[in-house]
Amino acid sequence: MLMKALDTLHVSAVGPDNIHAGEIFEIADNDGEILRQRGLAEPVTETPTPAAQPKTRAK
């Protein structure tokens, strides 16, 4: 399940680094539901678009 953090979190099942507010991460459905119930994250209903590639300067 894809979730969007609403606050800074540390979820060892996701990785060793903190997850900052606004970041999207993947977590097991039942663990994501616990975060949602506690108001720490919300489910992402659509697939996030990849960041735009910076344009290269013409030579």
- Residue 11's pLDDT is 86
- Residue 51's pLDDT is 59
8-38: buried (b, 16+ CB within 10 Å) or exposed (e) per residue?
Answer: ebebeebeeeebeeeeebebeeeebeebeee
Tell me the whole-structure pTM to 2 decimals. 0.71
Average pLDDT, the chain: 83
pLDDT digits (tens, 9 = 90+) for 12-35: 888 889 999 999 999 999 999 999
CA 26 – CA 14 distance, rounded (Å) = 7
Maximum Cα–Cα distance across the chain: 53
